[in-house]
Structure 1
Amino acid sequence: MDEFVKGKLITEWQLPELIDTFADEAIDQESFQLLDEATIAALVPRVGLRLKFKKKFREFVTNSAVLTAARAPLTEDPHNSAVNEETVNSLRLVFEVIPVFDIRPIMAATSDGRAILTNLGHTGQLLTKERRCLVRILVSHLIETFIETPSTNTKIALANSLIQTFPCLRDSSDTGRNSWFAKGRKAMPSTGFLEERLRNIRKHTTHTCTHTHTNVRLNCVAGRLLYYNEINLTKCIV
């Protein structure tokens, strides 16, 4: 067993359950650093463990890249040293790991997703109902992995993975994916089925939180419990 991988899985990440699998597949330090979405899904089929591993692995890749940039030699020219430091700091701020989504396993994890896979295999087409279901499944996976605010590049990666897996879902745009996700330009917001679903979920979440926190406020003042809402103020003596 590679000591680097063993140290990561047992000592740092607390995932000893994966040791035997990684040893059987001869995953050493070099191959560990080359793991992609599909390989991780094959190595860690159990969803709970896979989510934990992917979270740790993304942090590892990000930190490794930033550390490499930080260790790069700076020029001795005093006029350029500030520029180099600014470059390193920028890398720390904007470096992002762009994931690769394995669409088939994501879909196969649900009964509706399996039905869609079967239909696509037979007809190469999606009904409106099936397309909405497909979007719900993919966005649910996106939120589980990246919460409710995945980056634009992450959403582009998901849309690209979808049309690469199922070329029949490409549209007539230059990218072939604009109906699924199109990046906003200038003052125009992003569009597409994936973005619309995410936007609706965020609106629902925001509305729920706003309703909870603004319409009902409790405050105990001088032994009196005051109930506030937007229309009435009622006092109830405790």
Structure 2
Amino acid sequence: MDDFVTSKLIEWQLPGLIERFRDEAIDEESFGYLDLHTITTLIPRIGERLKFINKHNEFVRHTVCPPATLPTPDLPAATVANANPEMAALPNPDPEMPDATMVPVLQIVPVFDICAVLSAVPEGRSIVESLDTDQLITGKERKAMVRILVSHLIERCGETPTAVMKIALASALIHAFPCLNDDSGSGFGTWYAKGRSHHPATGFLEERLRNIRKQLRRSSRGPRPQREQDTVPSRIVIPDCTRFFDPLRRACT
């Protein structure tokens, strides 16, 4: 570990992490590449992890180069704020550059601080405690957690968040609480699975979003108008002559 990382940790009042970062050989270059999964592995204690994530997000926002400095203007620019950077590679679009077959492009992945979102409400704080101590939650707690997280997602992205945002939320959830990991390929398929081959997206988060959208559409349409048969009283037909049966006379009069 170089002096840059040491000075940053001291500046952020996290000197207790210096030894851990030194053991993992985190230098100035790798320090900027840290993502949420790696940070969770490096810093198991929640309090220190939350402080580091907040400081690291600010550090990344001030050090990421703007899109104008990318090698070619034809490449898409990242647009999501409050994020950690990850490097991806796209094929070189310029045939005049034979020596460069791949051009690095900065991809920005949204970050969700799951512990902070849940801890903002009393119900969520009890859920965090259950996950930290017992490594499990009840069905009632799971529904409450999904409700809190989806409300935060809608506040941040609106009622129709992109698949990228939903994946980021589900991924952040299992990174914050590995006990919620499932056996799907992504590890968070139970919480969100992107739709494929004309099949809609699934998962607890997606179901909650879908139900909220239905409720919003229903409320925007207003009360259901009454049908004509509900407003017009039904007619009762009375015959011209009512016939009564006299059992003594055994005849109709």
Q: TM-score, normalised by structure 2?
A: 0.52
Deviation readout 1:10-43 (Å, 9 max, x if unpaired): xxxxxxxxxxxxxx97xxxxxxx99999679736
Shift of 1:172: 1.6
More helix by share: 1
Counterpart of 2:118 (choices 103, 107, 112) is 107
How far apart, in 1, do the equivalents of 2:205 and 2:112 lie? Answer: 14
Q: Which amino acid aligns with 1:65?
A: P
Q: Distance in 1 between matches of 2:54 and 2:95?
A: 47
Q: How many residues align?
A: 162
Q: Deviations over 1:66-89 (max 9, x none)?
A: 6747657x9698xxxxxxxxxxxx
**Aligned equivalents of 1:127, 1:159: Cα separation in 2:** 18
Pairwise CA distance, 1:176: 1.3
Structure 1 pair 98–39 and aligned structure 2 pair: CA distance change class (3 A):
farther
In structure 2, the residue matched to 1:117 is 128
Aligned-pair CA distance for 1:150: 1.0
Looking at structure 1, the residues matched to 136 and 95 of structure 2 have their Cα atoms a distance apart, in angstroms, of 61
Q: Is the aligned partner of 1:178 residue 2:178? A: no
* Distance of 1:96 and 1:205 partners within structure 2: 33
State the partner residue of 1:12.
none
Change (3 A) 1:139 1:165: same
2:177 counterpart of 1:166: yes
CA shift for structure 1 position 96: 7.7
Structure possessing the higher radius of gyration over alpha carbons: 2
Residue of structure 2 equivalent to 1:145:
156
Q: Which residue number corresponds to residue 199 of structure 1?
A: 210
Equivalent residue letter for 1:64: P
Q: Provide structure 2 residue ranges, at least 5 long, that are not aligned to the other structure.
A: 1-10, 13-31, 37-49, 75-92, 97-104, 229-253
1:28 maps to: none
Mapped contact 1:36–1:100 kept (Cα < 8 A)? no
1:145 CA drift (Å):
0.6
Residue of structure 1 equivalent to 2:54: 42
Q: Provide, for residues 204-228 of structure 1, a one-character-per-residue CA deviation record: whole Å limited to 9, x for no partner.
A: 111111236xx6xxxxxxxxxxxxx
Contact 1:142–1:150, Cα closer than 8 Å, also in 2: yes
% identity of equivalent residues:
40
**Within 2, Cα distance between the matches of 1:208 and 1:69?**
49
Q: Which amino acid in the other structure matches residue 136 of structure 1?
A: R
The CA RMSD measured in Å over matched residues stands at: 4.1
Give the CA deviation at 1:202. Answer: 0.6
Distance 1:159 1:65 in 2: 27
